Structure 1
Amino acid sequence: MRMSPSPSEPALSLRQAALTLNGNAGPVNILHDLTFEVKHGESLALVGPSGSGKSSALMLMGGLERATGGSVIASGHDLAAMDEDALARFRRDRMGVVFQSFHLIPTMTALENVATPLELAGHRDAFARAAAELETVGLSGRADHYPAQMSGGEQQRVALARASAPRPEILLADEPTGNLDEANGAAIMDLLFGLRDRHGATLVLVTHAPELAARCDRVVRLRDGRVEDDATTEAAG
């Protein structure tokens, strides 16, 4: 049974988190001493120029990359203490992740894509919940379509439905509008914030768009793999 997080602890906590990867020319230092927290129910935008480490920081928060220094704590759990299987279960049960490139399973319909994580988590009503989530994102009429039969905006809606269907405590989104036109991008962001509000999830969003960052409660700006600025926005008021 999934334990509810303590309201006194942050949803995410990075303490001097670092990431060094091995490249062809030797070790490459990607992130340096990242230290910040994200409260439960808070929305935070990670911004900065290309190559500043935004996506890498998000990968650390989701346990998709392991910190090579410091610590990353999510919902009270030290991600470094988990093996790959435990991390996969943790993401399945507590996190929703949305990528720029959708990552849908091409041989599955929209309904099957959304239902799969629910089935893996043992929910007997997986397909009913998946159908309800597709309706929420306006795709009930596309449930039997495969990704190749859908537009980019529709595929991202399916990806959002898949991420939110398990009712995650934490939603991580990496440039979710990056492959979409302006109209579809705006619609996706409305849906993402709507899902956050409906489920009370913590949202961490990587974006280059100032107008999207302004919708979040806080903005953490990275530069050269370090925190350059951490400020609340007008949205927090």
Structure 2
Amino acid sequence: MDPIIATEDAHLTLDGNAGRVEILRGISLQVARGETLALIGPSGSGKSSLLMLLGGLEMASAGTISVLGRDLTAMNEDELARFRRDHMGVVFQSFHLIPTMTALENVAIPLELAGVPDAFARAQAELESVGLGARLDHYPAQMSGGEQQRVALARASAPRPEILLADEPTGNLDGTTGEAIMELLMGLRDRHGATLVMVTHSPELAARCDRVIRLRDGQLETEVPA
């Protein structure tokens, strides 16, 4: 079976204050449909940058990034945005909710953009599934960090994406809240059958994945038994 995600000799080089910096150096990786993959490694190893490449949020300087058989490196920004809208859900460590919108509106927005006719009904159902049925009309500033991350999870999963990308989804949360988010994330994966690629520093979260890959200095260092 063809992989749902494949990178071939992918590089990412960015301009910094001290000149050009090579962030990723020759990443070749395949992810099977339905697989759960954890990316681990020290800070600055390139984990989040790799996740951004897989989501088309950064463009590779060299090499190819293929997702669902489409070459992301051949798309322009508008094409990438539509591709993410139709096929991916992304969860960030810092939530990235729209502060002037309620929880319900935050989750409904991507559904409306995708033309889903029952956007608000589906958004409400998704928020109820993560335990926020009583917080639909609350704004991000009125919610705890754990509640905001639940909204972010609901927003990412509501369009039923084939791929979920999560960048340190428990990184800004205390241990107990992080455990709850971890359970929700795995539950969403199981319920919707999505492929999950996740950056994490949490050994407990990595251990829940099918496969664990370690990065160091912008390269895939080793595959770790899950």
Corresponding residue of 2:91? 98
Q: Deviations over 1:19-72 (max 9, x none)?
A: 000112211000000011010000000000011000000000000000001111
Distance 1:69 1:133 in 2: 38
Q: Deviations over 1:188-222 (max 9, x none)?
A: 01000000000000000100111111110001100
Corresponding residue of 2:183? 190
Q: Select 1:119's aligned residue among 102, 105, 112.
A: 112
Corresponding residue of 2:199? 206
Distance 1:52 1:26 in 2: 18
- 1:67 matched to 2:56? The reply is no
What amino acid is the match of 1:52? S
Corresponding residue of 1:54? 47
- 1:157 matched to 2:150? The reply is yes
Shift of 1:232: 4.3
TM-score by length of 2: 0.99
Q: Select 2:208's aligned residue among 215, 232, 235.
A: 215
Structure 1: 4+ residue segments shifted above 3 A: none
Q: Deviations over 1:93-129 (max 9, x none)?
A: 1000000000000000000000000000001100000
Distance 2:61 2:184 in 1: 35
- SS of the counterpart of 1:142? coil
What amino acid is the match of 1:119? E
What amino acid is the match of 1:159? A
- SS of the counterpart of 2:134? helix
Shift of 1:231: 3.9
Distance 2:212 2:7 in 1: 15
- SS of the counterpart of 2:60? coil
- 1:9 matched to 2:2? The reply is yes
Q: Select 2:13's aligned residue among 14, 20, 23.
A: 20
Distance 2:17 2:147 in 1: 38
Shift of 1:152: 0.4
Shift of 1:83: 0.5
Corresponding residue of 1:4? none
Distance 1:232 1:89 in 2: 35
Distance 1:30 1:74 in 2: 21
- 1:81 matched to 2:57? The reply is no
Q: Deviations over 1:161-204 (max 9, x none)?
A: 00000000000000011110101100001000000000000000
Q: Select 1:131's aligned residue among 124, 137, 144.
A: 124
Q: Deviations over 1:109-152 (max 9, x none)?
A: 00000000000000110000000000100001000000000000
Distance 1:230 1:96 in 2: 25
- SS of the counterpart of 1:19? strand
Distance 1:208 1:130 in 2: 30
- Give the % identical residues: 73
